[in-house]
Amino acid sequence: MGEQQHVKFPQEVIDEYAALGVDLPALFSAGHLGNRMGVQIVEASAEKVVGTMPVEGNTQPYGLLHGGASAVLAETLGSIGSMLHGGVSKIAVGVDLNCTHHRGVRSGLVTGVATPVHRGRSTATYEIVITDEQDKRVCSARLTCLLREVDAKAADDLPSAGRA
């Protein structure tokens, strides 16, 4: 859990961030919370973000995947898509998250896929579908992020892991 892995990014996106001295895979990791929960980012572009999370360690008292864990996976994936859509001049900040939980999962790995619903200049909305290992839908989520212009202070707030 929490190990760094190689995320698939479009080469032009990697090059754009590298020119600014930003290590894109480190910046777009699952973060501290996602790492503790075992979230792994498999693929990332503004058009599609894919990630996985183990059920084990992320359950509620009845032994089912915790709804909050699904929300963490959904917000992580939607935020990454929003950041990639906004590009190097914007920071994505989640302003609305809605999750509908369809079925319980007791074991295995869940996979989330985030795809854009709306990609504008100031907001981005992604639908995130989380499925179990049998490809049954576990959760449907929607995340809207505000895209804020990067200023000097905001640039200083980027995680140090993202700085080359």
Residue positions annotated with a catalytic role = 75
Q: Count Cβ atoms within 10 A of the Cβ of residue 156 and give its class: 0-12 exposed, 13-18 middle, 19 or more buried.
A: exposed
**Burial class of 116 by CB neighbour count within 10 A (0 to 12, 13 to 18, 19+):** middle
62's tokens? 């009845």
Three-state SS string across 37-48, please?
A: CCCEEEEECCCC
Backbone angles phi, psi at 33, to 5 degrees: -65, -50
Burial class (CB in 10 A: 0-12, 13-18, 19+), 141: buried
Amino acid at 40: Q
